[in-house]
Amino acid sequence: MNNVKMPSYDVKQELEDMTVSLQALQYLPRWMLRETQEVMEKTKKFNREVIRPRSQELDQKMHEDPDYLPWDFIKEANRRGFYTLFIPKLFGGKGYNLPSLSYVLEEMASECASMANLVGVHWLGVATLTSSWNIRLMNKIMRDVAEGERKGEPRIISLAITESEAGTDVEEVELLKKARVGCHIKKVKGGRVLNGRKIFISNGHLSTWHMVIGYEDVNRPEKTMAMVAVRTGTDGFSFGGKEKKMGQKGCPASELIFEDCFIPEENVCFDGEQIDKFSRWLGQPQRSVEEYNSQVINYVLSTSRAGVAGFATGVARGAYLEALRFATEEEIGGKKLIDYEWVRCQLAEMYKNVALARLSYVETNYANSLYGMFRLLQWKPMFYFLKLAPQQFLDWVVSPVLNQEVVTKFFRNLYLEGQKDDEIQRTSGWASLSKFSASDLGMRNCQLALDIMGRAGVQFDQRAEKFLRDSKLLQIYEGTNQLNRLNLFDCLIGRDLPGVATFDE
Amino acid sequence: MTDNFSEELKLLENMSRNFAENELLVSKQERDNYPFTSLDTSIFKKAEELGYFNLLQEESEDISNLASLAHALKILAKEDASLATAIFAHSLAQMTALQAGEGALLPNISGAEISYDRSDSEFANNSLPFVAFPCFDFPEEIAKGLTVRKQKGKYYLTGEVEYMVLGNLANWALLPAWMEGEENYSFFLFSLREDKVQMSSALLSLGLRACPVVELKIKDIEARLVGKSGEGINYYKAASELLSPSAAAISLGVMKGAFKEALEYSKQRIQGGREIINWSEVHMILSQMAIQCKTGEMLLEKALQECEKGSHGYSFSARTAALQLQEIACEVVSNGIQVLGGNGYMKDYGQEKRFRDAHQLKVLLGHHPLRKIAMLNLMENEEFRGL
């Protein structure tokens, strides 16, 4: 007789975890497919005309001159609209659906992960700004990005969260409690004063706007987290050096320095004071300040980790395609590589890795569409209204309304109060799953490509070695893969295990 | 192992450790910028003075040349695998000549007076008494790109070599080529300082950047046949088997360097309120790396013992050590970066270089999967029984 007792779990939750895509499909507008095809065609053209011809050249240039900044690429991407493509039309953008961003990032990264980051990191900044649900500030900054596109002056957005003593810690509120953070935000008359340094800030030197995460009390960061928008050129803000990285060289990893940097009240995205006001307005908020902070972080990471999975899928695909090309062209040991059975099996393995990596981010995007950041925009009435409404109507009639405080309250009510705990867990858990799965699969494909290509694989001019260098970073940023595994455990496993605290051991 | 040998080996290891930590370590980042900076030949000259390029010529009866070479390369590679690989390439050429019964050539090569200079200024400034050798390719693949013309008892080589290790640094090159009518290739030695030798600028590779590589074009250059014609395949097979432990040792050195840096970092770096070594997942990664390093040591020692004794089937152990350590090293260095997180990806630390080097070292001695596939064919019945 089998006396083994399995841990109890919530069957309904399990079913919902398993059927995210099935649940989402019935709600999603059919035009999303058409939109996705449109942006993919646009991206493939960009790949053909810009990324593939320039990717090796940029990498080599960065070897020669680590201080080089790829403004020409940024301007070209800006000219072609890649920095406003997914900004909702409400905020002056082109309003393509956000899940298609992952496909775009995959496509770009299949040629060059650096250049994909030069575009994709801007969307990490957009996601961060959006996660504050400060609609007035979103309207201001996103419309500034759109104006930059019209004027041919790129105004892209970065996220500044990592500090020299706090990398993994700032990605997870449970760890944030014990983090050694140093970026301090002080309330003063008319705004905030920011002091401290941020490191590893992708696109830092190239960005106009920086979404900076700081803390009102560095000894209680989990309770006093705040997000401010800092514009390049603000007094007290300067750039430090750029990191010398192994790969993704074209995308600078910058140090940002804040010395008594004054941030006007209007550029405070989110902080304890705003949460207090919001809580009082609600009367009976369902979450504490700490939990709201955690929720904001989760909104960012649930979308950005799907983006990293998009990069990783692209890298996996790029490595696969280089190996396939090589195998069909080159002979070794007296016959074409493609004529070896083991090579065919390796290529099949690589193809599978690409497909699985892609499926993982697609499922995460379905979760984000059902429960996360994309929810309202993909609600059919809203989707078609924004699709069909004349832009001038949105600019002249709707936009001024967005600047009213009540609109921010409405959105915070919808997105912060309206998101249930199990929905946070599902989006966050799936995002982590896709991030570490896809980046591990991407890395594996790069190694398999090198195996197939032999000595040619390590030569710069054969491109495969660059994919390998680029891919390693995907296992590190947006939380190391180890942290993402813990987050998956916390969200999708540990929730059913009473007494198991993920970050205590 | 005799007491004398143990003593000599210990001295060599101490010297290698001092050299690695005091000289290689200090300037390895600058050297790694090559070919975007000029080639720093001083480290090669110093290594040559210390005898690393002539370990296989040692005549002491007590010292085992193979073990000395492998141990020295392991220690050097812990700090910088580029120099270790350069020594390996030269040593593989030497060993091939030794297997061809042309050991007498070696002192002549090392001490040869160069009577004329090439117009290539970098070459003229840099050339050293080394032998360039394409140690990342199978000789039969290289031989396909070269033709030999025989005239009045002399041999003339023409063709191209895509990836010539030490090509722009060495005075000499040893290359395989097919002679008309022969079933197998032969080896030929020629001077790289002839005007008939054209070389590209240094090639950029994933790793081992301070071990220079060029593309070579030669046209009707006079070359000396090394050993007997058509016997090259046998010389190379024997040489590559004997030096497989040294190839394994370089990968092992890289692994040990990665482990050391990861361990030290994990004791310093605090996340979640404690040193990261005290998080059990990090602890597990480090333990796994330690086990892989120890397994590597055991594999290497076993392979060296069998090579030294000339045990029957030593080639299987030697090749196994190389194949296995070259593969494991890629996992170890990747985890080495992972422990350091973002810092591990940056050039301020040593892990990113080790990551690149280890993946390139996987191809040392040729295409890794095809070498693996060839293992079964190399094994004799007796070896099967031993498994």
3-state helix vs strand vs coil in chain A, percent to 5: 60, 15, 25
CATH of the domain at B175: 2.40.110.10
The shortest CB-CB distance from B206 to any of A177, A468, A476 is to A468
Residue A5 has pLDDT above 80, yes or no: no
CATH of the domain at B308: 1.20.140.10
* Claim to verify: residue B315 and residue B350 sit in the same structural domain: yes
| Residue B111 within any structural domain of the chain | no
Q: Which residues form the domain of B303? A: 233-386
Q: From the CB of residue B285, how many other CB atoms can be counted at a distance below 10 Å? A: 21
Q: Which residues of B touch A452 (CB under 8 A)?
A: 369
Interface A-B, measured as beta-carbon pairs within 8 A, has a size of 127
**Is the minimum CB–CB distance between A400 and chain B shorter than 8 Å?**
no
The shortest CB-CB distance from A451 to any of B281, B342, B369 is to B369
* Claim to verify: residue B218 and residue B237 sit in the same structural domain: no
- CB–CB of B206 and A472 under 8 A? no
| Residue B110 within any structural domain of the chain | no
Residue B106 has pLDDT above 80, yes or no: no
Q: How confident is the model at residue B65 (pLDDT cuts 50, 70, 90)?
A: confident
Residue A471 has pLDDT above 70, yes or no: yes
Determine the 3-state secondary structure of A242 from DSSP. Answer: strand
* Claim to verify: residue B357 and residue B244 sit in the same structural domain: yes
Q: Which residues of B touch A447 (CB under 8 A)?
A: 330, 359
Q: Which of A455, A465, A504 to mutate to test the interface with B (most CBs of B within 10 A)?
A: A455
| Residue B287 within any structural domain of the chain | yes
Q: How confident is the model at residue A478 (pLDDT cuts 50, 70, 90)?
A: very high
Q: Which of A65, A338, A472 to mutate to test the interface with B (most CBs of B within 10 A)?
A: A472
- CB–CB of A472 and B373 under 8 A? no
CA distance A472 to chain B (A): 8
- CB–CB of B271 and A243 under 8 A? no
* Claim to verify: residue B49 and residue B134 sit in the same structural domain: no
- Chain A residue with minimum CA distance to B279: A505
How high is the pLDDT of residue A2?
Answer: 64
Q: How confident is the model at residue B387 (pLDDT cuts 50, 70, 90)?
A: low
The shortest CB-CB distance from B272 to any of A175, A459, A468 is to A175
* Claim to verify: residue B25 and residue B83 sit in the same structural domain: yes
CA distance B40 to chain A (A): 17
The domain boundary residue, chosen from B105, B130, B150: B105
pLDDT digits (tens, 9 = 90+) for A188-209: 999 999 999 999 999 999 999 9
Separation CA B83–CA B86 (nearest Å): 5
Residue B2 has pLDDT above 70, yes or no: no
The shortest CB-CB distance from B163 to any of A450, A455, A465 is to A455
Separation CA B133–CA B137 (nearest Å): 9
pLDDT digits (tens, 9 = 90+) for B263-306: 999 999 999 889 999 999 999 999 999 999 999 999 999 999 88
- Could you tell me which residues are beta bridge partners of residue A198? A256
How high is the pLDDT of residue B314?
Answer: 84
- CB–CB of B369 and A452 under 8 A? yes
Q: Which residues of A touch B368 (CB under 8 A)?
A: 451, 454
How high is the pLDDT of residue A504?
Answer: 85
**Is the minimum CB–CB distance between A58 and chain B shorter than 8 Å?**
no
Mean pLDDT in chain B?
89
* Claim to verify: residue B67 and residue B187 sit in the same structural domain: no
**DSSP string covering B119-176:** S-HHHHHH-EEEEE--TTS-HHHHHHTEEEEEETTEEEEEEEEEEEETTTTEEEEEEE
Q: Which of B215, B278, B345 to mutate to test the interface with A (most CBs of A within 10 A)?
A: B345
Q: Which residues of A touch B347 (CB under 8 A)?
A: 244-246
Q: How confident is the model at residue B116 (pLDDT cuts 50, 70, 90)?
A: very low
How high is the pLDDT of residue A280?
Answer: 87
How high is the pLDDT of residue B27?
Answer: 87
From residue B339, give the alpha-carbon distance in Å to each of B9, B88, B326.
Answer: 33, 30, 21
* Claim to verify: residue B84 and residue B134 sit in the same structural domain: no
Q: Are strands B213-226 and B186-191 parallel, antiparallel or unpaired?
A: antiparallel
Mean pLDDT in chain A?
95
- Chain B residue with minimum CA distance to A453: B367
- CB–CB of B205 and A245 under 8 A? no
How high is the pLDDT of residue A106?
Answer: 98
pLDDT digits (tens, 9 = 90+) for A120-169: 999 999 999 999 999 999 999 999 999 999 999 999 999 999 999 988 88
- CB–CB of B367 and A455 under 8 A? yes
* Claim to verify: residue B295 and residue B377 sit in the same structural domain: yes
- CB–CB of A454 and B342 under 8 A? no
- Chain B residue with minimum CA distance to A59: B204
The shortest CB-CB distance from B338 to any of A64, A167, A480 is to A480
Q: Which residues of A touch B205 (CB under 8 A)?
A: 458-460, 465
- CB–CB of B206 and A460 under 8 A? yes
Q: From the CB of residue A448, how many other CB atoms can be counted at a distance below 10 Å? A: 22
- Could you tell me which residues are beta bridge partners of residue B222? B156
Residue B313 has pLDDT above 80, yes or no: no
CA B10 to centroid of chain Cα atoms: 22
Separation CA B337–CA B359 (nearest Å): 13
Q: How confident is the model at residue B366 (pLDDT cuts 50, 70, 90)?
A: very high
Instruction: Give percent above pLDDT 90 in chain A.
Output: 89
CA distance B172 to chain A (A): 22
* Claim to verify: residue B180 and residue B324 sit in the same structural domain: no
The domain boundary residue, chosen from B200, B228, B256: B228
Query: Are the C-beta atoms of A503 and A175 separated by less than 8 Å?
Result: yes
From residue B60, give the alpha-carbon distance in Å to each of B48, B52, B98, B108, B156.
Answer: 18, 15, 16, 19, 37
| Residue B218 within any structural domain of the chain | yes
* Claim to verify: residue B224 and residue B239 sit in the same structural domain: no
**Is the minimum CB–CB distance between A35 and chain B shorter than 8 Å?**
no
- CB–CB of B36 and A63 under 8 A? yes
* Claim to verify: residue B182 and residue B307 sit in the same structural domain: no
- CB–CB of A443 and B282 under 8 A? no
How high is the pLDDT of residue B1?
Answer: 55
| Residue B82 within any structural domain of the chain | yes
Separation CA A263–CA A160 (nearest Å): 15
pLDDT digits (tens, 9 = 90+) for B74-93: 999 999 999 999 999 999 99
- Chain B residue with minimum CA distance to A448: B369
Residue bearing tokens 């956000």: A98
- Chain B residue with minimum CA distance to A164: B343
Determine the 3-state secondary structure of A162 from DSSP. Answer: coil
pLDDT digits (tens, 9 = 90+) for A212-260: 999 999 999 999 999 999 999 999 999 999 999 999 999 999 999 999 9
**Is the minimum CB–CB distance between A200 and chain B shorter than 8 Å?**
yes
Q: How confident is the model at residue B127 (pLDDT cuts 50, 70, 90)?
A: low
How high is the pLDDT of residue A55?
Answer: 97
**Is the minimum CB–CB distance between A214 and chain B shorter than 8 Å?**
no
Separation CA A218–CA A163 (nearest Å): 12
| Residue B159 within any structural domain of the chain | yes
How high is the pLDDT of residue B74?
Answer: 98
Q: How confident is the model at residue A284 (pLDDT cuts 50, 70, 90)?
A: confident
**Is the minimum CB–CB distance between A17 and chain B shorter than 8 Å?**
no
The shortest CB-CB distance from B341 to any of A64, A167, A451 is to A167
Rounded average pLDDT over B315-327? 95
Residue B125 has pLDDT above 60, yes or no: no
- CB–CB of A175 and B344 under 8 A? no
Q: How many domains does chain B have?
A: 3
The domain boundary residue, chosen from B228, B262, B294: B228
Q: How confident is the model at residue B62 (pLDDT cuts 50, 70, 90)?
A: very low
Question: Candidates 1.20.140.10, 3.40.50.150, 3.30.70.360, 1.10.10.10; correct CATH number of A11-155+270-496?
Answer: 1.20.140.10
B-contacting residues of A 113-172, CB under 8 Å?
Answer: 162, 165-169
Instruction: Give percent above pLDDT 90 in chain B.
Output: 74
B-contacting residues of A 449-478, CB under 8 Å?
Answer: 450-452, 454-455, 457-461, 465, 468-469, 472-473, 475-477
- CB–CB of B273 and A459 under 8 A? no
pLDDT digits (tens, 9 = 90+) for B221-272: 999 999 999 999 999 999 999 999 999 999 999 999 999 999 999 999 999 8
**Is the minimum CB–CB distance between A57 and chain B shorter than 8 Å?**
no
Residue A289 has pLDDT above 60, yes or no: yes
How high is the pLDDT of residue B39?
Answer: 87
**Is the minimum CB–CB distance between A327 and chain B shorter than 8 Å?**
no
Rounded average pLDDT over A469-493? 96
The shortest CB-CB distance from A477 to any of B337, B342, B355 is to B342
Pick left, alpha or beta for residue A378 (phi over 0 → left; psi -120 to 50 → alpha; otherwise beta). alpha
Q: Which residues of A touch B373 (CB under 8 A)?
A: 342
Query: In this predicted model, which residue has the larger pLDDT, B112 or B262?
Result: B262
How high is the pLDDT of residue B4?
Answer: 66
- Chain B residue with minimum CA distance to A64: B36
Residue B310 has pLDDT above 80, yes or no: no
**DSSP string covering A69-105:** --HHHHHHHHHTTTTTTTS-GGGTS----THHHHHHH
Q: How confident is the model at residue B119 (pLDDT cuts 50, 70, 90)?
A: very low
The shortest CB-CB distance from B342 to any of A178, A200, A503 is to A200
* Claim to verify: residue B152 and residue B216 sit in the same structural domain: yes
